[in-house]
Structure 1
Amino acid sequence: MKFSKMLITGFVMLIGVNAFAQKKTAKYEKLEIEMFPKSKEGYKQVYIQLPVAKNENDLKVEFFVGTEKMLDCNNYFLMGNVKTQDLQGWGYNYYEVESKGEVGGTLMACLDKKTTKKFVSLQPEIVRYNSKLPLVFYIPKDLEVRYRILRPDTSMKKAVQK
């Protein structure tokens, strides 16, 4: 009797885990990036595939193109720019990054001379959330793309009148 209860419990748990795993993989649209151009010499193609979400019109994606460096107490930024390109004939966008990896920053006196590993990036950009299309980037081989999903506050607030 105990064995059959354990067997049934195990079977129910297995079905639950399997259903959860299937649900997790079904949260992404089918990825198609074959139509995007190949990366040029010294560059790599990277992409972000966003999961399907409720109310995607309310969401935004903020992306950062940069690299980790050992830096002192100053505030740093990566020099370069991001150009939005149109994928001819498709109506899709992709992003080309131009940067030599040079860093600029403030000139504060760092008394402790201590350095720490920091992610230094170009000016972040905010784009609309769309799980049906990947965000495709062409970046220099020594850089990476990081991102975060921005969600609205739950309630609207009213501006104060003077």
Structure 2
Amino acid sequence: MRKNKTTILGIAAMTAALLAGTASAASDPLKAFPPAQEGYERVVINLPQVKDTERFRVQLIPGQTIEADCNTRSLSGEIKKETAQGWGYDYWVVSNVGPGPTTMMACPNNSKVEKFVAVYSDELIRYNPRLPVVVYVPKGVELRYKIWTSPEKATVAKAQ
């Protein structure tokens, strides 16, 4: 009987610790995420509540505003998903941002304008308004995002 009592007390203690961790994450949702490393900034996106989250996705668009000519260009870089240790929450790290591919057209009058140039990524992440979307970007890199949605009903594909 003593062994069962010890086991029950151990389970109760673990449950209390888990609930305390969940409560502290609810009061400070960023507590679960590591601080930004040197040379990086932590950027947080708080998504609005929606009716059907499965119809929504988020696209992360890191980039920089630079003086550029008429050529089409992008930046190279990586967007890597990581998981907060002990919490299981996902966050993203943008790294290796640098010059990327560009077209080589002759521009009239060598004209240049300020424009946002993005790191190309076609990955869409799950929409979860209960947790912040946490992204670590190198200092000097701006993070923009788009929210994508799909129709309520899927279209049926026809065999040909």
TM-score for the superposition, normalised by structure 1: 0.74
Q: For residues 159 and 32 of structure 1, do their structure 2 counterparts lie closer, same or farther at Cα, with a shift above 3 Å needed?
A: same
Give the superposition deviation at 1:103: 4.0
How far is 1:99 from its partner?
2.6
Q: 1:154 to 1:57 in 2, by over 3 A?
A: closer
Structure 2 residues without counterparts, runs of 5 or longer:
1-25
Displacement of 1:136 after TM fit? 0.6
Q: Who is 2:134 aligned against?
A: 136
Distance apart, 1:158 and its partner CA: 3.6
Name 2:23's counterpart in structure 1: none
**Matches of 1:79 and 1:101, distance apart in 2:** 5
CA deviation string 1:12-32 (max 9, x = no partner): xxxxxxxxxxxxxxxxx8761
**Corresponding position of 2:89:** 92
Question: Any unmatched runs of 5+ in structure 1?
Answer: 1-28
Cα distance in 2 for partners of 1:110, 1:119 equals 18
Identify which of 144, 154, 157 aligns with 2:155.
157
Matched to 2:31, the amino acid is E
C-alpha separation in 2, matches of 1:133 and 1:94: 10
Matched residues in 2 for 1:78 and 1:49: separation?
26
Which of structure 1's runs of 4+ aligned residues deviate more than 6 A?
none
Structure 1 residues 147 and 100: alpha-carbon distance in aligned structure 2, compared to 1, 3 A threshold: closer
Q: How far 1:157 sits from its partner (Å)?
A: 3.0
Question: C-alpha separation between the residues in 2 aligned to 1:135 and 1:102?
Answer: 26
2:65 is the alignment partner of 1:68:
yes
Partner of 2:108: 111
CA RMSD of aligned residues (A): 1.9
Distance 1:43 1:158 in 2: 45
- 1:7-61 CA distance string (max 9 Å, x none): xxxxxxxxxxxxxxxxxxxxxx876102211111111111111011100111111
**TM-score, normalised on structure 2?**
0.75
Contact 1:31–1:49, Cα closer than 8 Å, also in 2: no
Distance across 2 between alignment mates of 1:153 and 1:105: 34
